[in-house]
Structure 1
Amino acid sequence: MNILTKYFTTKHNTAPFSQIKIEDYLPAIQESINQTKHEINTIVTSEETPTFNNTVEALEFAGEQLDRITSIFFNLNSAETSDEMQKLAQEISPLLTQLSNDITLNTALFERIQSVYNQKDTLNLTIEQTTLLEKKYKSFTRNGALLAEDKKERLREIDTELAKLKLTFGENVLAETNAYQLHITNPEELKGLPEGAVEAAHALAKNNNKEGWIFTLDFPSYQPFVTYADHRELRKEITIAYGKKAFQDNSFDNQENVKKIVSLRHERAQLLGYPSHAHYVLEERMAQNPDRVKSFLNDLLDKAKPAAEREFAQLTSFAQKLDQLDQLEKWDGAYYSEKLKQELFHLDDEKLKPYFKLENVQQGAFEIANRLFGITFTEVFDIDKYHEDVHTFEVNDANGNLVAIFYSDFFPRKGKRNGAWMTSFKPQYIKNGQNERPHVSIVCNFTKPTATKPSLLTFNEVTTLFHEFGHALHGMLANTTYPSLSGTSVYWDFVELPSQVMENWCYEPEALALFAKHYETGEIIPQHYVEKIKESASFLEGMATLRQLSFGLLDMEYHGQPVTVENVKNFEKKAMEATALYPDVDENCMSVSFSHIFQGGYSSGYYSYKWAEVLDADAFAYFQEKGIFNKEVAEKFQKYVLSQGGTEHPMTLYKKFRGQEPNPDALLKRAGLI
C-alpha cells in the first residue's frame, strides 16, 4: 500500500513521515498527476456554461493531493536529502513542469476561464474571488495560452530544461559545501576562536574519526572561524573556499548552468512578449518594472555609499592601527568588524551568546506572538517527524481552536542545504465549509548543542530565527478561502514584510526581557547590553546596505535586459563595480552559488529584501508610536496583513493597516543613514 495516495488519517492530517518509503514518491506523484488531469478534463468537458464555481474554483482545487505530496517531497529534498532523493527530483521535476504546461496551454480550459473573465464585472464576486479570477486568467496569458502551437512547444521545452537546471545548480552548491573541510591539528591555529566553536569543531573531527578540529563551509562552522580566528592565512583559505563553491572547473561547476538559465529565461520572456525576464516577473510585483527597481536600488546606493566608504575607511585605519595592515581583504572584513564593534560598544557576540539559549529564544518568539496575536504554542510528541532534530507544536487561539501545526528544524546536517527558510507541508484554505488549518515549518542551521553546552545563538542568529518565525506567522494566521491566495502566497516584494518586521522585537528591552536569560544563572540580559545591542544595530550599516544592493543590482543585471553572458566572473565583477569596497578575489565568483536567484524564487526579486525593509521600518514605527505590544495595532496587522494573504493588492492591504503609504525615511533613519 502506498501511504501517499491515501488521505492521511494521522493526527490533524499531518504528514506520516516515518511511514513514507522513498520508492512511494514517484508512483504516488504519477497517480496524482493522472488524477489531476482527470479533474481538469471534467472541467473542460462540462456541458454547463462556464461559471466562477464550475471553472475557476474547480481549477483552484484540482490537484490538491498532488500539491500535498510534492510539498512533502521537495521540502525533504531541501532539509533531509540523499543521492536517491536528488536523482528522484531530476525525474519528478520534468513531470510536474509538463503537467503545468498541459494545464496553462490547454486551449479549451483557457476558453472557459476567458469566458468567465470577460463577464467578471457582472458576476457580483467578492474581492477574493475577483483576485482569484484575475490570477487564474493571467496565469494562462502569462504562460503561453495566446501563443501559436510551435511557440507553445518551445515554451514547454524551455520550462522543462529550466526545472532541471535549477535542481542541478542547487545540488552542485550542496556538493561543494559538503566537499570542503579545514582540518586543524595544531592548537596554536585556533587562537581567537570562541570555546563553543572549538568544541563543535572537535566534535566534528571525532565524528569523522580524525584527531584535532574540523571546520566546514556550513554557516555555524564557517562564520565563527572568519569572525574570530587570529590566523589570517587560514581565514584566507576558508574564505576563498567559501567563495569558489561551484567555480572550480570540476563536475560541480555552475558557470554553464548560470549562462543557460539566464539565456533561457530571456528567451521565455520574449516568447511571451516581454522585453526581459525582469519585465515578465515584475508585472506581478509591487515594483512593477525593472526601471523602478533600478532607480529604487540606485537611490539607496546614492544615500548609503558615502556612509559605506566612511565606514570602510574607519575599518581600514583600525586594522592598520591594530595589526599594521595596509589593505583590508575579504577574509579580514568580519574579523576586524567584530574587533571594532567590541572596541566601540564593548559588545562581544561571545558575551551575549549565553543569554540566547536556542530553546529560550524560540519560547520568546512564541511569547511575543501570544502577546500580539493571542496564540499559544504547545509542544506535542505524537506528530510524526522526518528527523529526530525536528520539534512539533500545536498552535491554538485564545478559545482553544487549532490555528496551525508548527515544525522547527534547527541544526545543520549532511542532507540539509545551508541557510534558513520557512515552508509549509499543507496550506490553509476553506473547502466544503471546513477551514483547513496549515502545517508550517521553519528550517535553520544553528550550532548544535555540545557535551557541555546547549545551543547558544549569536545575536545575528536570534534575528534569523525571528525572521523565519515572521514568515511562519504569515502562514499560520492565514485565513482565506483559496490555497493559492493563502499565507505567504503574496507578491514577492511583500512577502518579506512579516518576517522583517518581527526582527524589530529583538532590539526592544521589553521583548528581550522575555527570553534573553543566562542559560546557567537565569539572569535577564543586563540593561547595558541591551543598550549596546540597540546602539550597534546600525554599526557598519552603510557597508551592509551596499552588500545587499550589490546582490540586487547583480540580479537586475542578469535579468533586467536580454544579455549574453560570455564570462560569468567578468559579468559579475562589472555588475557589482559600483558597490565594491574590498579588492576582488580571482578564484571567487558569487553568481555560481547565488541560490536565491538561480535555484530559489528570487530571480528579478532580490531587491525585495530592501523594498520590504522600507515597509517593515514604517510598520514598526507605527508599533513604536503606540507601544510594541499594542493590541489595536497588532490586531490591524493580523487582520490586514497576516491573515489576508494575496487576496488584495499589497499596497491596498498595507494602507488599510497603516492608513498611509510607507515612508522610506523610516528605513534611512533606523539605519543611521540620515
Structure 2
Amino acid sequence: MASLTPSQPALRWSHSADEILSLTKQAITKHGEGLDKIAALPKKDCNFDSLALAEADTELSLVTEPLSFYQNVSTSKELRDASNAAEVLVRDYDVEASMRLDVFEVMVAAEENIKQSSAALGSEEQRLMERSLLDGKRAGLALPEKERGELTKLKKELSQASLEFSKNFNEENSTISFTLEELRGVPADVISGYTKRTEGEKELYDVTMKLPDILPIFKNAQNPDTRRAADAAYDARLEINAPILDKIIALRWKIADLLGYPTWADYITEVKMAKDAKTVTGFLDDLHKKLDPVGAKDRAALLALKKVECAELGIPFDGQLNQWDVRYYDRLFVERTLELDEQKVKEYFPVSVVVPAILEIYQNLLGVRFVEVKGETWHPDVQMFAVWENGATDESGFVGYCYLDLFPRESKYSHAAVWPLLQGFTRSDGTRHYPLAAMVANLAKPTPTTPALMQHQDVVTFFHEMGHVFHGLLSKTRFARFHGTAVARDFVEAPSQMLENWCFEPAVLERMSSHYETKKPLSRELADKINKSRYVNVGMFYLRQVFFAKFDIKVHTEREQTDYTALWNDLRRSITQVNPGRRAAGQGSFGHIAGGYDAGYYGYMYSLVFAADMYATVFKADPLDPARGARYSKSILQPGGSRDESLSLEEFLGRPPNADAFVREIFGETGSANL
C-alpha cells in the first residue's frame, strides 16, 4: 500500500490573502455564468440533465469551502480576515443566487416536463429535484418582486451578523489571573501550563477561556471564590455578541414573516426529521418533565456533599448549589462514591497513544486504512492522511483525505469540530471525486513534567468527532449535496453519539489506554468505574442541555421574548436547578445559535434516541465486530442524505426506530417514551 498514489491530489494551503479573495470572486463569477446558461434554456426543452442541478453548486463549494476554512485555523490575521471576507462574499452571493427567479422558473418547467414524459428519475435524482424546488420556495421565489427584494436584503444582513458573531467567538482571547494559593486544588501539571508573571509583589498565573485552561479550575479549585470568579469571566467572555444576537433573531423573525411561516422554528424544522416546531416543543417539554425529578435527586446529592466538604475545609456553607459548584462537586462525587480520580485516569490516556489507537479501532471496524502523507497543510502541527480501503491494490481503493489539527493555538477555533472541506460525488463522466475532511480539536499540550494527556471526556469527544470524519469519508452518494453529514440536522449527531459508547466499553478502553509511565493499560476495575460514572448526575447534565435547547426554541417561537439576557438567566435557573449567580449575557457565547443550529439545538438530544437504539440493537453484543461495522457503513454512512433518514435507520435496525433503549439508558425504565 505504501507505493499507492491517490488518484486525486490533496489541497494546497499556501494561498495569499489576495488569492483567497480573487479565487473566491472567480468561482462566484463562474457559478453565475452557469446559472445564466440554465436560465436561458427554452422551457419546453428543460429536463433533469439539461438543468445540471448539482454541477454548478458543487464546483463553487469545491473552491470556496477550503478558502473560508482559513478563518478557523490560520495563525495569520491577514489570512483569517481575507477568509472571513471571502465567506461574506459567498454568503451574499448565495442569497442572490437563491433568489434567481429565472432559474426557479426553469426548474418548475423541468419538473412539469418530467411528469409528462415516460422517463422516470432515479431515487437520488428525484430527491435532488424535489429538494431544489423546495429550496426555491423556501427562498421566497413564489413571492412578489417587492417582497423578494426585501427578503434578499434581510438575508444579507443576517449573513453578515452571523459572521460577525462567529468572528468574535473565534478571536475571543480574554484571560483571568489567579495567585498560586487561589489555584489550590488545580493539578500541578495544569498550572505549569499557565503563563506566569509578576505584578508588584504578587506572582500571578494568567488563565485563558480555552477549555483546557479554564475547565480544570471549574473542576478542581477548592476555593469557591476562585471558581465563582472564573465562572463569571467565562460566562461574560462574549457579552459583545449579545446585541448581535438580538439583531440576528429579529432578522429571522422578519424573514419568517415574509415567507409565511408562523415562526422561524417552523421554517427551520420543515426540512428536518421533526418537521415542525410543535414536535420540538413537545419533545423538550416531555424530556424536561422526565428529567426534573432525576435532576432534583442529583442536586440533593451534590448539595449534601458540598455541606460536608465546607465543614471539612472550615468555609461557610451557603445552602445553594451554584453554577460554579456543579463541575467541582460532580468530580468530587465521582471520586468519593466510585473512588475515581480524573487526574489519575488521564495518566492512562497520552495523546500519542490515544489518537493512533482510536484510528486503529475505526479502521478495523470499518475496513479502511489511514496512511500519513507529507504535503502542504495550514500549520506544522497538522497531520494529513490518505485513506484507503483494506486490501487496496490500485487507486480504485482510494477513499479520501483526512486532516487532524489537534492542539490549541491563538485565534484557532476553540472547540472540537469537523469540516467536510470537499464532498464525494460522481462526475458527469462517471469518474469519482473523493472527499476530504478536517478535524479540529484543542487537546491539552505537553507540560514541563508530563506528556500531553487527555481527560476521559476528551477521549469521548475525539471518538465522537472521528465519527463525523468517517461519515464524510465513507459516504457514497451520486450528488455532493447529499454527501456524508449532509443529512437532517436533527439526525446528523446520531452516528457520532452512538459511537461514544465505545469509550465506555472495558475492552475498547483497554486498547486505547497506556499509562504514560508504566505503559500498562487501564485495569478492568478502573474501566468499570468509568462506565459507572457515565450516568452519575446525568439528570443535571441533560437538564443543562434542555436549558440550551429551550432558550433556542423559545426565541424562535415566542415573538414576545425580547430581553434575551433575562430569558437566558431565568431559564437557566428554573431548568438546571442551580443558582447562576451574576446575570451575565451568557447567550453571547451560545455559538450554536448563530452557527447553523438555530431552532436546532434540540437535535442533540433528539438524535440521542436514534443513537441509543442503534447501539443497543446492533453493536452492544460485539462493538468491535467488523461485520456489524460493515452493516453500519452500508446502511447509515454510505447513503448520507440521499434518502430519508428514517429509511436508513429502518434498514440498519431491521425495524422502525423507537425510544426504548434511550429510556432504559437515561431513566432506567422500560417501555416506549413519548419522545
Task: State the TM-score bracket (shorter-chain normalisation).
Answer: over 0.9
- Mapped to 1, the partners of 2:298 and 2:664 lie a distance apart of 17
Q: Does 65-74 or 237-246 show the bigger shift?
A: 65-74
Superposition pairs of residues 386-425 of structure 1, within 5 angstroms: 386-400=378-392, 401-425=397-421
Match of 1:36? 31
Within the candidate set 164, 169, 174, 2:165 is matched to 169
Give yes or no for contact 1:15–1:425 (8 Å, CA) kept in 2.
Answer: no
Partner of 2:320: 327
Instruction: Tell me the secondary structure at the aligned position of residue 188 of structure 1.
Output: coil
Kept after mapping to 2: 8 A contact 1:287/1:293:
yes
Tell me how far apart the structure 2 counterparts of residues 365 and 134 of structure 1 sit (CA, whole Å): 39
CA distance in 1, matches of 2:405, 2:197: 23
- Kindly tell me: are residues 94 and 351 of structure 1, through their superposed partners in 2, closer, same or farther at Cα, counting changes over 3 Å? closer
Could you tell me whether the CA contact under 8 Å between 2:67 and 2:86 is conserved in 1? Answer: no
Structure 2 counterpart SS, 1:419: coil
Question: Contact 2:170/2:413 (CA < 8 Å) preserved in 1?
Answer: yes
- Partner of 1:457, secondary structure, is coil
Deviation at 1:672, TM superposition (A): 4.2
1:363 is aligned, of 352, 356, 366, to 356
> What is aligned with 2:673?
none
2:470 aligned partner: 473
1:201 aligned to 2:194? yes
State how far apart, in whole Å, the 2-side matches of 1:607 and 1:232 are: 32
| 1:85 to partner: Cα distance | 4.2
Are the equivalent residues in 2 in contact too, given 1:97–1:159 (CA < 8 A)? no
User: Is the counterpart of residue 506 in structure 1 residue 498 in structure 2?
Assistant: no
Task: Write out aligned runs for 1:145-156 (5 A).
Answer: 145-156=141-152
Task: Identify which of 602, 607, 613 aligns with 1:607.
Answer: 602
Q: Secondary structure at the match of 1:12?
A: coil
Contact preservation (8 Å) 1:182, 1:215: yes
Instruction: State the distance in 2 between where 1:189 and 1:592 align.
Output: 28
* Worse-matched range after superposition: 71-80 or 469-478: 71-80
Counterpart in the other structure of 1:547:
544
Alignment of 1:344-355 (within 5 A): 344-355=337-348
Deviation at 1:135, TM superposition (A): 1.0
Q: Does 1:284 align with 2:271?
A: yes
Letter in 1 for 2:568: E
Q: Which residue of 1 aligns with 2:67?
A: 73
2:489 aligns to what? 492
Residue correspondence of structure 1 range 240-251 to structure 2 within 5 A: 240-247=232-239
Match of 1:535 in 2: 532
Amino acid at match of 2:365: L
Q: Structure 1 pair 149/564, CA: closer, same or farther in 2 (3 Å)? A: farther
In structure 2, what is the equivalent of residue 617 of structure 1?
A: 612
Distance in structure 2 (CA, Å) of the matches to 1:228 and 1:626: 37
Range moving further from structure 2, 26-35 or 603-612: 26-35
Distance change >3 Å, CA 585–CA 395, structure 1 → 2: same
Give a deviation string over 1:371-404, Cα, whole Å, max 9, x none: 2211111222x22110111111111111322112
Aligned residue in 2 for 1:5: none
AA aligned opposite 1:340: F
1:288, 1:559 → 2: CA distance? 15
Once residues 232 and 575 of structure 1 are traced to their aligned partners in structure 2, the CA distance between those partners, rounded to angstroms, is 24
Equivalent runs, 1:641-656 vs 2, <5 Å: 641-656=636-651
Paired residue secondary structure (1:27):
helix
Deviation at 1:527, TM superposition (A): 0.7
Offset of 1:663 from its aligned partner? 2.3
What residue identity is the alignment partner of 1:535?
K
Query: Structure 1: which 4+ aligned runs deviate by more than 6 Å?
Result: none
Are 2:209 and 1:226 equivalent residues in the alignment? no
**Residue 4 of structure 1 corresponds to which residue in structure 2?**
none
Instruction: Report the secondary structure of 2:636's partner residue.
Output: helix
Decide whether the 8 Å contact of 1:614 with 1:663 is kept in 2: yes
Gaps of 5+ in 1: 1-8, 248-252
CA contact (8 A) 2:235 2:585 kept: yes
In structure 2, the gaps of 5 or more residues are 312-316, 670-675
SS of alignment partner, residue 366 of structure 1: helix
Task: Give the aligned partner of residue 564 of structure 2.
Answer: 568
Verify the 8 A CA contact 1:173 1:245 in the aligned structure 2. Answer: no
Which among 259, 270, 273 is matched to residue 257 of structure 2? 270
- 8 Å contact kept, 2:242–2:585: no
Separation in 1, partners of 2:235, 2:515: 36
* Structure 1 CA distance for aligned equivalents of residues 79 and 163 of structure 2: 12
The residue that corresponds to 1:214 in the other structure is: 206
Once residues 336 and 63 of structure 1 are traced to their aligned partners in structure 2, the CA distance between those partners, rounded to angstroms, is: 51
Residues in 2 aligned to 1:120 and 1:586: alpha-carbon distance in whole angstroms: 61
Give the letter aligned to residue 76 of structure 1.
Answer: Y
Q: Taking structure 2 as the reference length, what is the TM-score of the superposition?
A: 0.92
Matched, 1:300 2:287: yes
Moved more, 371-380 or 166-175: 166-175
Aligned to 1:426: 422
Is the CA contact 1:275–1:561 (under 8 Å) kept in the aligned structure 2?
no
Alpha-carbon separation, structure 1, partners of 2:482 and 2:114: 18
**Cα displacement (A) at 1:11:** 8.2
DSSP-derived class of the 1:440 partner: strand
Call closer, same or farther: CA 1:522–1:205 in 2, change over 3 Å: farther
Residue by residue, what CA displacement relative to the aligned partner does 1:33-61 show, whole Å, maximum 9, x if unpaired?
A: 11111111122223470111110xx2311
User: Aligned partners of 1:135, 1:240: CA distance in 2, in Å?
Assistant: 45
The one-letter amino acid of 1:314's match is A
1:254 partner SS: helix
> How far off is 1:523 after superposition?
0.7
Letter in 2 for 1:117: E
CA contact (8 A) 1:640 1:657 kept: yes
- Which of residues 230, 238, 242 in structure 2 aligns to 1:255? 242
| CA RMSD of superposed structures (Å) | 2.0
Task: Specify whether residues 415 and 546 from structure 1 end up closer, same or farther in structure 2 by C-alpha distance, changes over 3 A only.
Answer: same
User: Could you tell me which residue of structure 1 aligns to residue 122 of structure 2?
Assistant: 126
CA distance in 1, matches of 2:667, 2:452: 32
State yes or no: 1:316 paired with 2:303.
yes
Identity of aligned residues (%): 28
The alpha carbon displacement at 1:291 in A equals: 0.9
User: Match for 1:192 among 185, 205, 225?
Assistant: 185
Q: Residue 657 of structure 2 aligns to a residue in which SS?
A: coil
Task: Give, in angstroms, the shift of residue 661 of structure 1.
Answer: 2.4
Report if the CA contact (8 A) 1:355-1:524 is conserved: yes
Contact 2:218–2:327, Cα closer than 8 Å, also in 1: yes
SS of residue paired to 1:215: strand
Paired AA for residue 126 in structure 1: G
